[in-house]
Amino acid sequence: MPGMKKIIECVPNFSEGRDLEKIDKIVSAFRGKNGVKLLDYQRDEDHNRLVVTVAGDPDALKTALYEAFRMAIDLIDMRRHKGQHPRIGAVDVVPFIPIKNVSMPDTIDISKRVAQHVAETFDLPVFLYEASATRPERCDLANVRKGQFEKMADKLKQPEWEPDFGPKKIHPTAGVTAIGARMPLVAFNVNLDTDNLFIANDIATKVRHVSGGLRYCKGIGVELKEKGLVQVSMNMTDYTKTALYRSFELVKMEARRYGVNVIGSEIIGLVPMAALIDTAVYYMGIENFSIEQVLETRIME
């Protein structure tokens, strides 16, 4: 709708998690920019990786992102990069996420414009992934990343791995970048009153999509040694279609087979307001509720 403020989120991952000076230069591209809000950044020394979370107006975000691309491509040499996390380029992956007054088709469109722009500006091959993917096998980022930076030169020669934008050969120091649109992820864990990892894994198998469970749910069993219990650790990949409460109730239901109880849950990191409101609406059976009734959404507009 015209006049309504659009907000998208962007979570660029950069292949530098150790050199604080370089990290600061990359992050500073998102600082003090009108219309851009730096929400978080985390560096990991073992992964040798920087994950930045920003949100804001799509155009303002694009401008800041291009500055970060230039910084990262100037500062990072993938030929000398080592780290535990799979990676294919200096700017490894850039997901765009619709937050407010932006549809998924809009977000896909934004991701493609950014992909084209950075490919042309930096002579960088770009793969579109997730909801922006142009071939089904490119939806899954793990497929795109397979072979990592070291094997990308060869991979690009295969006709099925021709990049969506940019040259058919890797950028010598910056490699390749994956860009796409996806829904917000919610990291949602459900704790069981047992220390039997087999049970958590078995429940995860039943709840997650890949092995017969809910469409937008990934999951594994995890041991929490300090607490002496296990959890079903889930990634909810589209809470608008697979609600948090549905996976929660399904875990509870499957736990009953073992005489095991759900004793709590946790949400790691950020969660969109609507994912929790949806849960409240379900448990109290609130009829005809509209997100517009939430006071804060009126103030934000």
- Residue from 248, 250, 255, 260 binding a second copy (CB under 8 A): 248
Q: According to the binding rule CB under 8 A, does residue 20 interact with a second copy?
A: no
The Cβ-side half-sphere exposure at 109, using a 13 Å CA radius, reads 7
Q: According to the binding rule CB under 8 A, does residue 283 interact with a second copy?
A: yes
The footprint of a second copy on residues 124-163 (CB under 8 A) is none
Q: According to the binding rule CB under 8 A, does residue 293 interact with a second copy?
A: yes
Backbone angles phi, psi at 136, to 5 degrees: -55, -35
Q: According to the binding rule CB under 8 A, does residue 286 interact with a second copy?
A: yes
Catalytic residue among 81, 85, 171, 209: 85
Q: Are the beta carbons of 188 and 276 closer than 8 angstroms?
A: no
What minimum distance in Å lies between the beta carbon of 13 and a second copy?
18
Cα Rg of the chain (Å, integer): 21
Q: According to the binding rule CB under 8 A, does residue 4 interact with a second copy?
A: no
Applying CB under 8 A, the span of 125-133, 165-173, 202-210, 278-286 interacting with a second copy comes to 278-286
Backbone angles phi, psi at 264, to 5 degrees: 160, 180
The footprint of a second copy on residues 47-106 (CB under 8 A) is 55, 99-100
Instruction: Give Cβ neighbours of residue 45 (< 8 Å, ≥ 6 apart).
Output: 17, 18
Give me 26's structure tokens. Answer: 């990359």
Q: Which residues pair with 127 in a beta bridge?
A: 178
Helices 244-256 and 273-283, interaxial angle, to 10°? 60
- CA 290 to mean position of chain CA atoms: 27
What minimum distance in Å lies between the beta carbon of 106 and a second copy?
17
Compare residues 164 and 254 and give the one whose CB is closer to a second copy.
254
Q: According to the binding rule CB under 8 A, does residue 294 interact with a second copy?
A: yes
**Cα 277 to Cα 108: distance, rounded to the nearest angstrom:** 26
Compare residues 84 and 103 and give the one whose CB is closer to a second copy.
103
Active site residue 171: no
Compare residues 118 and 244 and give the one whose CB is closer to a second copy.
244
Alpha helices for 54-103 (secondary structure H): 58-75
Applying CB under 8 A, the span of 136-144, 159-167, 199-207, 288-296 interacting with a second copy comes to 288-296
SS3 state at 122: helix
Torsion of CA 207, 211, 216, 219, to 10 degrees: 60
Applying CB under 8 A, the span of 13-21, 60-68, 106-114, 266-274 interacting with a second copy comes to 266-274
Active site (catalytic) residues: 85
By CB under 8 A, name the binding residues for a second copy: 7, 9, 37, 39, 55, 99-100, 184, 191, 244-245, 248, 262-267, 269-273, 276-277, 279-281, 283-289, 293-301
